[in-house]
């Protein structure tokens, strides 16, 4: 009996060291979200292989551009969540949408070609992303500002730890069993993660003021916030750079370097380790220096990825890119959310979140076609990747300006 008590005390001490001293309700919600995030990691690890699967099935960089572009439709439509949340709670809306979207991964057992896989992936991303403003509102209501960065980092640490373990196993499973067996299993675990989130205890949502019915209404409110506008300009340039290169990565991996799913799984393991480390790094930077500085550093690191792909002649030469992307995912995950909360009016958080999501969506819908468009004009692949790196570095200038305003 003494051993479990001692273990519980040790875990609580470890938890306090990472997240800080928390009230009981905050601690309980954090633990529930950690469990949900751990399960979600399996689902997320599987999604990382979708572009490679599409490419292995004969998909061209143009098709991957379509996939990446359609994955941002949920951002564009996220403002509809403002209207939905006038009728149901943010938690109910988020859980329902997540569960239905992740069911699309289960249905990939029936997908036999790139078209059906693309349709299901689009539905999945739409329902996964639309509740973004609802999730932001939940975070605002359950986690105190002083500890929010560290709590989010600890939650995402659980997710990234699962991804670290699951990524090479999923790569091996895809080589041995195929996507029609692996994707449905990951989808079922993703649904379970959404259902765990139901246990989150939300006593009250602060504010309670009416929200705009559309993204245009939200835009009109936030456009007068000059720091927020400058920050969003940085987000736009970052996305144009990063997403213009993304559709080219699977072509380099599969067609130029001839990597297997197992090879990609091992590279993904390195990416997951950096992702894991990134959450601790960025969580502390956010709490100590602010979210804008975290996002600015993230933009600089992103430039490493296209540069690595531009000059890679062997699989191991992509290692810096995978490490950089892991750090960028961690920084963007908690950095964008916290920057939105940091720059928004507390009474209108949902509208700022909807405006940011809409901007990210419009940018993401267009940006994937920039790279393949340049290829179509005869620009070489390495030059396109170098342009990608240049754009994300330009984005840091806007972030630095917003930070100093």
| pLDDT range class, residue 97, cuts 50, 70, 90 | very high
For residues 294 and 272, what is the distance between their CA atoms, to the nearest angstrom? 19
User: What's the mean pLDDT in 30-58?
Assistant: 91
194-208, 312-326, 377-391: least confident range: 194-208
Report the 3 state secondary structure along the chain.
CHHHHHHHHHHHHHHHHHHCCCCHHHHHHHHHHHHHHHHHHHHHHHHCCHHHHHHHCCCCHHHHHHHHHHCCHHHHCCCHHHHHCCCCCHHHHHHHHHHHHHHHHHHHHHCCCHHHHHHHHHHHHHHHHCCHHHHHHHHHHHCCHHHHHHHHHHHHHHHHHHHHHHHHHHHHHHHHCCHHHHHHHHHHHHHHHHHHHHHCCCCCCCCCCCCCCCHHHHHHHHCCCHHHHHHHHHHHHHHHHHHHHHHHHHHHHHHHCCCCHHHHHHHHHHHHHHHHHHHHHHHHHHHHHCHHHHHHHHHHHHCHHHHHHHHCCCHHHHHHHHHHHHHHHHHHHHHHHHHHHHHCCHHHHHHHHHHHHHHHHHHHHHCHHHHHHHHHCCCCHHHHHHHHHHHHHHHHHHHHHHHHC
| pLDDT range class, residue 161, cuts 50, 70, 90 | confident
| pLDDT range class, residue 46, cuts 50, 70, 90 | very high
pLDDT in tens, 134-155: 887 888 788 877 777 778 778 8
Higher pLDDT, 152 or 199: 199
| pLDDT for the residue numbered 3 | 45
How far are the Cα atoms of 103, 163, 298 from residue 160, in angstroms, in the given order?
22, 5, 17
Say if CB 271 and CB 281 are below 8 A apart: no
Say if CB 270 and CB 323 are below 8 A apart: yes
How far are the Cα atoms of 105, 224, 398, 402 from residue 405, in angstroms, in the given order?
44, 14, 11, 5
Q: Is 158 exposed, middle or buried (0-12, 13-18, 19+ CB in 10 A)?
A: buried
Higher pLDDT, 298 or 209: 298
| pLDDT for the residue numbered 208 | 42
Portion of the chain with pLDDT greater than 90, in percent: 37
| pLDDT for the residue numbered 177 | 92
User: What's the mean pLDDT in 302-328?
Assistant: 93
How far are the Cα atoms of 90, 100, 325, 392 from residue 86, in angstroms, in the given order?
9, 21, 37, 37
| pLDDT for the residue numbered 42 | 94
Nearest to 244 by CA among 115, 348, 383: 383
| pLDDT range class, residue 2, cuts 50, 70, 90 | very low
| pLDDT for the residue numbered 201 | 85
| pLDDT range class, residue 217, cuts 50, 70, 90 | low
59-68, 72-81, 209-218, 333-342: least confident range: 209-218
| pLDDT for the residue numbered 322 | 94
User: What's the mean pLDDT in 350-369?
Assistant: 83
Portion of the chain with pLDDT greater than 70, in percent: 89
Fold of the 22-200+213-404 domain: Growth Hormone; Chain: A; (1.20.1250)
| pLDDT for the residue numbered 153 | 77
| pLDDT for the residue numbered 225 | 80
End-to-end CA distance of the chain: 57
**Which tokens belong to 365?**
């819908």
User: What's the mean pLDDT in 161-190?
Assistant: 92
| pLDDT for the residue numbered 19 | 57
Nearest to 405 by CA among 336, 350, 343: 343
| pLDDT for the residue numbered 220 | 67
User: What's the mean pLDDT in 322-341?
Assistant: 87
| pLDDT range class, residue 306, cuts 50, 70, 90 | very high
Say if CB 98 and CB 187 are below 8 A apart: no
| pLDDT for the residue numbered 77 | 82
| pLDDT for the residue numbered 207 | 42
User: What's the mean pLDDT in 117-130?
Assistant: 92
Q: Which of 23-32, 52-61, 70-79, 319-328 has the highest mean pLDDT?
A: 319-328
| pLDDT for the residue numbered 72 | 86
How far are the Cα atoms of 53, 153, 160, 203, 312 from residue 277, in angstroms, in the given order?
28, 10, 9, 32, 25
User: What's the mean pLDDT in 232-241?
Assistant: 92
* Averaged pLDDT of the chain: 84
- The domains of the chain are located at 22-200+213-404
């Amino acid at each position: 009996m003494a051993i479990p008590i001692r273990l519980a005390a040790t875990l609580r001490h470890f938890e306090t060291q990472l997240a800080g001293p928390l009230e009981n309700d905050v601690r309980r919600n954090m633990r529930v979200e950690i469990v949900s995030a751990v399960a979600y990691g399996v689902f997320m690890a599987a999604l990382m292989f979708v572009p490679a699967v599409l490419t292995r099935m004969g998909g061209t960089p143009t098709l991957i551009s379509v996939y990446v572009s359609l994955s941002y439709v949920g951002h564009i439509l996220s403002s509809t969540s403002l209207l939905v949340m006038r009728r149901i709670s943010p938690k109910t809306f988020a859980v329902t949408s997540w569960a239905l979207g992740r069911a699309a991964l289960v249905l990939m057992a029936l997908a036999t070609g790139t078209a059906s896989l693309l349709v299901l992936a689009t539905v999945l991303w739409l329902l996964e992303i639309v509740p973004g403003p609802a999730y932001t509102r939940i975070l605002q209501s359950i986690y105190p500002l002083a500890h929010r960065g560290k709590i989010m980092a600890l939650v995402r640490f659980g997710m990234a730890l699962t991804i670290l373990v699951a990524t090479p196993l999923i790569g091996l499973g895809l080589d041995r069993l195929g996507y029609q067996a692996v994707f449905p299993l990951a989808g079922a675990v993703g649904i379970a993660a959404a259902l765990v989130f139901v246990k989150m205890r939300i006593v009250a949502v602060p504010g309670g003021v009416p929200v705009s019915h559309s993204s245009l209404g939200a835009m009109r409110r936030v456009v007068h916030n000059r720091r927020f506008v400058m920050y969003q300009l940085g987000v736009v340039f970052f996305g144009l750079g990063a997403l213009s290169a993304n559709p080219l990565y699977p072509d380099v991996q599969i067609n130029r370097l001839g990597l297997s799913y197992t090879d990609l799984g091992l590279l993904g393991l390195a990416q997951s380790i950096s992702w894991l480390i990134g959450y601790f790094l960025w969580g502390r930077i956010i709490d100590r220096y602010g979210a804008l500085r975290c996002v600015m550093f993230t933009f600089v690191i992103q430039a490493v990825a296209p540069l690595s792909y531009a000059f890679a002649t062997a699989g191991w030469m992509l290692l810096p890119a995978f490490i950089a992307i892991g750090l960028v995912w961690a920084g963007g995950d908690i950095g964008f959310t916290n920057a939105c909360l940091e720059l928004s009016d507390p009474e209108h958080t949902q509208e700022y979140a909807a405006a940011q999501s809409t901007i990210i969506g419009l940018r993401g819908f267009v940006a994937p076609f920039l790279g393949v468009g340049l290829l179509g004009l005869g620009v070489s692949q390495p030059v396109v990747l170098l342009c990608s790196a240049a754009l994300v570095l330009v984005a840091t200038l806007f972030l630095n300006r917003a930070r100093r305003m």
